[in-house]
């Protein structure tokens, strides 16, 4: 009877120890999963930050290119306008010279008629 009692107590203690070991193994597995999930979350966060940084850099590059295109277009329009204005000014000077030449010729012809 005493031996059976001891056997039952030993069996109970073994079951308790087995349950405790199972709980420890479960806790270790849960901890391992948490560590893996934290590492994965950190990796995702790092990748997201890198992607956002890359997108920001791309936006800044596009903005810079847009500004450069606008500046180039503005300068081109200014050069074209200046060229046209210079041509118009030169044409105006040519016309003025022709007008003076014509007026001088007319005056000369009048003078020549008057002298005749």
pLDDT at 36: 98
Q: What span, in angstroms and rounded, lies between the C-alpha atoms of 9 and 22?
A: 20
Indicate whether 84 pLDDT > 90.
yes
Question: What is the separation of C-alpha 75 from the centre of its chain, rounded to a whole number of angstroms?
Answer: 25
pLDDT surpasses 90 at 112? no
The helix (run of H) or strand (run of E) holding residue 87 is helix 2-115
Quick one: pLDDT band at residue 93, thresholds 50, 70, 90? very high
Cα separation, 5 vs 37, in Å, equals 47
Say how far apart CA 110 and CA 104 lie, in whole Å.
10
Percentage, residues of the chain above pLDDT 70 = 99
Enter the pTM of the model: 0.53
pLDDT at 116 over 80: no
Q: Which two tokens stand for residue 18?
A: 């087995």
Q: Tell me the C-alpha distance between 72 and 82, whole Å.
A: 15
1 pLDDT band, cuts 50/70/90, is confident
Residues 55-72 have pLDDT tens digits of: 999 999 999 999 999 999
């Amino acid at each position: 009877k005493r031996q059976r009692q001891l056997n039952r107590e030993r069996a109970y203690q073994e079951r308790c120890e087995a349950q405790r070991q199972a709980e420890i193994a479960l806790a270790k597995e849960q901890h391992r999963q948490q560590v893996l999930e934290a590492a994965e979350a950190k990796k995702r966060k790092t990748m997201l930050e890198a992607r956002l940084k890359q997108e920001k850099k791309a936006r800044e590059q596009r903005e810079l290119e847009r500004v450069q295109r606008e500046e180039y277009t503005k300068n081109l329009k200014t050069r074209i306008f200046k060229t046209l204005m210079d041509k118009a000014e030169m044409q105006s000077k040519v016309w003025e010279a022709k007008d003076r030449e014509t007026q001088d010729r007319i005056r000369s012809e009048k003078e020549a008629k008057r002298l005749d």
